[in-house]
Amino acid sequence: MSWRAFRSVRRLETRKADGDETAKDAIALTPQSRLFRVPNGLTASMYFTLMLFLCATGLADRDRVRRATVALSWLSLGVSGYLVYQLLFVLKRNCPICMRAHILNLALTSAISVRAVPEGRQPW
């Protein structure tokens, strides 16, 4: 999903450079669509790929990696919250692709946090 959003941004940038008027108003071309000058779709793609790699290889089960994974997932969720705020209250727009990515991020953070609790202990 994030990779698709990243490719869409590239196409919109090309259309905007070619003078397409409809591309100029795209959410993906607003300053809020980039974090530290990196498109949000690319950042999200890298993040989701890293998490998939860590979980699929079992590296996420190592103590230090588990802690780093939990911390990174919560940091990512904080960024998602900020981006949702920017989307809904600053830009006052709706972006279904963006919202799906943020919901996926919430689900991933929840799953990683619950999985990180040692067996025999309650998560709360």
Domain residue ranges in the chain: 2-116
- Cα 6 to Cα 124: distance, rounded to the nearest angstrom: 37
Q: Is 99 exposed, middle or buried (0-12, 13-18, 19+ CB in 10 A)?
A: middle
- The listed range with the strongest mean pLDDT (13-27, 48-62, 72-86) is 72-86
Q: Residue 30: pLDDT above 80? A: no
Task: Supply the pLDDT for residue 28.
Answer: 67
Task: Name residue 72's amino acid.
Answer: L
Contact by Cβ (8 Å): 6, 41? yes
Count other Cβ atoms within 10 Å, centred on residue 69: 22
Percent of the chain residues topping a pLDDT of 90: 25
- pLDDT in the model for residue 36: 82
Q: What is the pTM of this model?
A: 0.73
Residue 14 burial (C-beta neighbours within 10 Å; 0-12, 13-18, 19+) = exposed
- Average per-residue pLDDT for the chain: 82
